[in-house]
Amino acid sequence: MIDTIAERPIPLDQIPPEAIPGRAGNPVHKGTLGLWHRRGVRGVRLETWMVGGRRCTSIEALNRFYQAVSQARSAHPSHRPPADAAPSPRTGRDRSKAVRRAMDDLTKRGI
């Protein structure tokens, strides 16, 4: 929850670009913050409050949002392999290497 006394409000459209890591060095679109507030990410919404008719958040709220989204992602079953998961299937290249090693081994043994 936002502590309106300790945290400095920053309007969503004035968040400094370095506060939000973008992809490939590009800044995050300003509309993204509105989506994070309204829809959320992985069930986590960005904390905001209205100050003088403007929607605001804080750097601390952004940090809490990032941490909560990271926890939600790592806790999601699709990001954890099941305990009894079989190893991933080999690629054609991996199979070819294994065959080549086996053939070399058989040749060394004289078979």
Over residues 44-86, the pLDDT tens digits come to 999 999 999 999 999 999 999 999 998 887 776 665 556 666 6
In a domain, residue 82? The reply is no
Mean pLDDT (the chain) is 85
In a domain, residue 102? The reply is no
Provide the number of structural domains found in the chain: 1
In a domain, residue 88? The reply is no
Higher per-residue pLDDT: 90 or 55: 55
User: CB count, 10 Å around CB of 53?
Assistant: 5
pLDDT of residue 54: 93
pLDDT of residue 87: 65
Over residues 24-35, the pLDDT tens digits come to 888 888 788 989
Provide the terminal-to-terminal Cα distance of the chain, rounded to the nearest Å: 72
pLDDT of residue 86: 64
In a domain, residue 27? The reply is yes
Rounded Cα distance between 29 and 36, Å, is: 11
pLDDT of residue 73: 79
In a domain, residue 54? The reply is yes
Q: List, in order, residues 6 or more apart from 6 with CB less than 8 Å away.
A: 60
Domain that holds residue 26: 10-77
Q: Could you tell me what percent of the chain has a pLDDT over 70?
A: 88
